[in-house]
Amino acid sequence: MQSVLITGGAGFIGQNLVHAWRAAEPSDRLVIVDAMTYAANLRSLEPLIADRSISFVKGDIKDAALMRRLFDEHKFTRVAHLAAESHVDRSIADPEAFLQTNVLGTFTLLKTALEAWLAAGTIEHSRFLHVSTDEVYGSLGPSDPAFLESSPYRPNSPYAASKAASDHLVRAYVETYGLPALITNCSNNYGSYQHPEKLIPLMIIHALEGKPLPIYGDGSNVRDWLHVSDHCAALMAVIERGRLGETYNVGGGNERNNRDVVGLICDALDRAFATDASLAPRFPSCPAASGKSCRSLISFVTDRPGHDHRYAIDATKLARELGNRCSVNFEDGLGQTINWYLDHEDWWREVTSGAYKAWIDKNYSFRIAV
């Protein structure tokens, strides 16, 4: 039985990881720490908190005293560190929070884990997993080979630079102090509970509400889409069986450009409305409710500054060493994700009320059609 700290457990990947961990290792004790920023949501965890199968602490990973108290109290033997500011556009509009949480927050957690594990004499049995991103490697040209764990770091956004800095700190703690840590660098996740600021949920929700679908630039940018369930399976394999001090890339093997992703979403919604008569009265502003294609909402807008052209992951090391391969085909996973948003209107209406509206104004009002 392990005592597990999951930071950022109320975020998109964090919530999915908590459920996956609970299902795979029901006897482990899970403690979730989350500062409950705009990106957090506890709805899916509330039943687990209520029946005490997990513990939740609202707290900031930069709070060294709180982190140390939690390590002393719960005697963690596993740390899955996901807490971060995660949205590239927000990092461009306001980078400071990214440096605070992603760099200083990670530093605080590394320092606390090392000190607590040394003091308790448990460092030999403990493992720290730092969850990072493929964005640290920069941008690929159309025919460049996919990112390897040995690819040079070339971050292009403040978000990517802050994650790169945190990766370097993890490495330094391994090399200098012998912290038993590992790093994963993964590609774009998608699936249930993703915040509607990110491409796939944003496009689904805008289409349902009959709002423009804002594709940055010409939409030729490519991402490698990884279903969040495949990502969580990889994280659990790496934290348990990965070689300490190593980095593992995790990718979906699903490279698609943004134009195609948005087109697939539109076509899937058109089909759903054509076959399910209950959708039109629920979403009357969606073009598909009156027999038009959601593609009519597509709008090409001012590009993201420093917009990385292409990410692609070579996940051979993960497969070779840990036998872990991604299994969700993109079209299937996208269909499931669209159904999830259709079935969880209450969830996204709650998330998109209030402060979210101010962000949409800030990020999209200056973008003109191109």
Binding site for ligand DAU (CB under 6 A): 86-88, 133-135, 187-188, 198-199, 202, 214-216, 221, 223, 258, 304, 311
Q: Closest CB to ligand DAU among 77 and 221?
A: 221
Does residue 186 interact with ligand NAD by CB under 6 A? yes
Among 34, 60, 85, 159, the one annotated catalytic: 159
Among 85, 89, 134, 270, the one annotated catalytic: 134
Instruction: Reply yes or no on whether 135 is catalytic.
Output: yes
Q: Closest CB to ligand DAU among 38 and 177?
A: 38
- Which span sits near ligand NAD by CB under 6 A: 2-10, 234-242, 270-278, 313-321? 2-10
Q: Closest CB to ligand DAU among 33 and 301?
A: 301
Does residue 99 interact with ligand NAD by CB under 6 A? no
Does residue 36 interact with ligand NAD by CB under 6 A? yes
Q: Closest CB to ligand DAU among 4 and 84?
A: 84
Strand partners, 298: 213
Among 85, 135, 167, 270, the one annotated catalytic: 135
Sign of the CA dihedral running 60, 13, 187, 205: negative
- In the 8-state DSSP scheme, what is residue 287? G
Q: Report the residue number whose CB is nearest to ligand NAD.
A: 11
Are residues 186 and 250 in contact, defined by beta-carbon separation less than 8 angstroms?
yes
User: Pick from 179, 200, 192: which is nearest to 264 by CA?
Assistant: 200
User: Pick from 173, 276, 189: which is nearest to 15 by CA?
Assistant: 189
8 binds, among ligand NAD, ligand DAU, none (CB under 5 to 8 A by kind): ligand NAD
216 binds, among ligand NAD, ligand DAU, none (CB under 5 to 8 A by kind): ligand DAU
User: Pick from 235, 230, 141: which is nearest to 185 by CA?
Assistant: 235
Q: Closest CB to ligand NAD among 41 and 126?
A: 41
Q: What are phi and psi of 6, to 5 degrees?
A: -115, 110
- According to DSSP, the β-strands at 255-257 and 222-224 are antiparallel
Ranges assigned E (strand) in the chain:
3-7, 29-34, 54-58, 78-81, 127-133, 181-186, 189-190, 213-216, 222-224, 226-227, 247-250, 255-257, 298-301
Are residues 127 and 244 in contact, defined by beta-carbon separation less than 8 angstroms?
yes
Binding site for ligand NAD (CB under 6 A): 7-8, 10-14, 33-37, 39-40, 60-62, 82-86, 101, 105, 131, 133, 163, 186, 188-189, 195
